[in-house]
Amino acid sequence: MDHDVEKYYTTCMKLVNKAAEVIETAFYKTKQVESKSCDMDLVTETDKEVEKLLIDGLHLAFPDHKFIGEESTAGGEKCILTDAPTWIIDPVDGTMNFVHSLPLIAISIGLLINKKPIIGIICNPILKQTYTAKDGQGAFLNGTKIKVSGETVLAKALIATESGTNDDPAKIEVVLKNLGALLGKCHGTRSLGSAAMNLASVASGGCDAYYEMGLHAWDMAAGQLIVEEAGGTVIDTTGGEFDLMSRRVVCASSEKLAKDIASRLTQYEMERD
């Protein structure tokens, strides 16, 4: 079957622009907030509204496509990735930031076909930043081509990471141990509060690397392609091949830096998506 990737992309971008307006309108207003897996794992009415807007619009345009969405999965739908064209959606990545009106948030959408990333879109409606990539066509920020920094040396690298929303003491211990393994050995660490924004920052050269354990497919699907199309490397935290459903990632401006970081990390085992 032939796929009209340009049509998929333009249709999705129109919906992303509509979703961005919804988020902009809600950003500085009082939010209706609920907890999911723990008190730090939040969802708002905007997360649900935006995901519905995106999935309904894409389903109407492409009724044979499949979907994996953060909020629908949290509501009990199965997270199943097949060879069918599949849109993987995080309607508001960085919900905690959104709740606190901190503008490091993003709509994150990836399209996979035969389990291969084909389209990646990360849109920050508040900062007016839209990162995009199509397979084999490079990565862009607001239409201007971007590339990773190319840094290979840990001592010169600025590294992004997150503590995550898990309140498991064993996970917290691993997070602190891994942070300790890198502090003093790199330029510094940053935590933007959004996996999508961390990935986009590596793609555009603002950070040299990003690692995290405890993510989900919707956190990484768009960013993986954008980083790779910007010339970066995306691997597993063990140093092996990246697996979107494994809930962990190291991405970096070079393979050498990615492997170096991975070699220093203590692993935390989680159930797959």
Of residues 93, 155, 101, the one with CA closest to residue 124: 93
Of residues 210, 262, 271, 260, the one with CA closest to residue 236: 262
* pLDDT of the residue at 46: 93
pLDDT in tens, 189-247: 999 999 999 999 999 999 999 999 999 999 999 999 999 999 999 999 999 999 999 99
Burial of 1 (0-12, 13-18, 19+ CB in 10 A): exposed
Q: In terms of pLDDT, which residue wins out, 268 or 44?
A: 268
| Residue range 5-146, CATH number | 3.30.540.10
**Helices (H), strands (E): how many in the chain?**
8, 14
Q: Is the domain defined by 154-263 classed in CATH 3.30.70.100?
A: no
Q: Where are the domains of the chain?
A: 5-146, 154-263
Specify whether the CB–CB gap between 222 and 123 falls below 8 A: no
CA 129 to CA 111: how far, in whole Å? 19
Q: At what angle do helices 195-203 and 217-229 cross, to 10 degrees?
A: 10
pLDDT in tens, 15-49: 999 999 999 999 988 888 887 666 666 778 999 99
Q: What ranges make up the beta strands (E) of 22-115?
A: 33-35, 42-44, 66-69, 86-93, 106-113
Of residues 89, 115, 130, 97, the one with CA closest to residue 220: 89
